[in-house]
């Protein structure tokens, strides 16, 4: 695969993800929901991971009304989950599907926008735990299923503030720096010994609840809908990115903190 690969330019076929099993965290709302629905439209069997059962069931029902493969729900609260909860998800994936072809880490907490000098320590710990530690733990337990795939992809959600530090973004920015590092380390470890590739993708500006939390005065009508940003996710989770690993991409031409 050429180093010039750009997931933003890929045009996915209708059945681009046919036969693939893809797990998505934070699948109940925002970008996670949009990507889950897009994966289903492209004929993937989607595993919806999140903590809000009602919202997950709504996404599941929407997929069920289409001609997509049946989706499944894995309830997992990344803030409070114990080791047994992660193991339960991993065991269920292997029991039902026998493998995992894609994993998108989309769930995250923003925390507060505050100077480091005054940052609330418990909030710092919550953000780092959900955004980094939980992503690490889930990846770790799902690696056996990913290694059973002939062409697996792990995608971590990045951010512009995790590439160039910005004042007051505190734990969120630090967590996104860590996610970029985790993605690169895991890619290097899996290279040459598995068919698992690992990349990071910054969605940029989007009409989501997190964006509104970070920029409450922003005109929401100026932001793209999550549904408009799913193309690069399909490219990275599907066969188009085969052979591409250890890289970090943007879903939009001009990355802005998201």
pLDDT (tens digit per residue) in 117-170:
999 999 999 999 999 999 999 999 999 999 999 999 999 999 999 999 999 999
Class of domain 15-250: alpha beta
Q: Is 172 known to be catalytic? A: yes
At residue 155, φ and ψ (nearest 5 deg) are: -125, 120
Asked if pLDDT for residue 94 goes beyond 80, the answer is: yes
**pTM value > 0.85:** yes
Residue 106 pairs in a beta bridge with: none
Q: What is the DSSP letter of 80?
A: T
Of the candidates 86, 172, 215, 233, the residue annotated as catalytic is: 172
Write down the domain spans for the chain.
15-250
Contacts of 178 (CB under 8 A, 6+ apart): 128, 131, 132, 162
Enclosing H/E stretch for 154: strand 152-157
- 3-class SS at 240? helix
Say what the pLDDT of residue 254 is. Answer: 60
Task: Give the list of residues 6+ apart from residue 237 with CB closer than 8 angstroms, or none.
Answer: 17, 20, 22, 39, 44, 101, 102, 104, 153, 155
Token pair 């069920």: residue: 64
């Amino acid at each position: 695969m050429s180093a010039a690969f750009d997931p933003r330019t890929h045009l996915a076929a209708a059945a681009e993800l046919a036969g693939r099993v893809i797990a998505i965290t934070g699948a109940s709302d925002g970008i996670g929901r949009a990507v889950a629905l897009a994966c289903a439209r492209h004929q993937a069997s989607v595993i919806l991971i999140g903590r809000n059962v009602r919202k997950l069931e709504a996404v599941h029902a929407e997929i069920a009304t289409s001609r997509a493969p049946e989706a499944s729900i894995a309830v997992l609260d990344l803030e409070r989950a114990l080791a047994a909860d992660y193991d339960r998800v991993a065991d269920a994936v292997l029991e039902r599907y026998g493998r995992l072809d894609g994993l998108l880490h989309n769930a995250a907490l923003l925390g507060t926008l505050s100077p480091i000098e005054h940052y609330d320590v418990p909030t710092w710990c919550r953000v780092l735990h959900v955004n980094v530690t939980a992503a690490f733990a889930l990846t770790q337990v799902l690696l056996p299923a990913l290694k059973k795939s002939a062409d697996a992809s792990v995608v971590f959600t990045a951010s512009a503030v995790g590439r160039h530090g910005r004042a007051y973004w505190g734990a969120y920015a630090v967590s996104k720096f860590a996610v970029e590092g985790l993605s690169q380390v895991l890619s290097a470890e899996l290279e040459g010994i598995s068919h698992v590739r690992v990349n990071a993708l910054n969605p940029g500006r989007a009409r989501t609840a997190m964006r509104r939390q970070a920029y409450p005065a922003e005109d929401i009508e100026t932001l793209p809908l999550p549904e408009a940003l799913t193309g690069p996710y399909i490219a990275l989770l599907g066969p188009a990115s085969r052979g591409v690993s250890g890289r970090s991409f943007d879903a939009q031409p001009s990355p802005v903190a998201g």
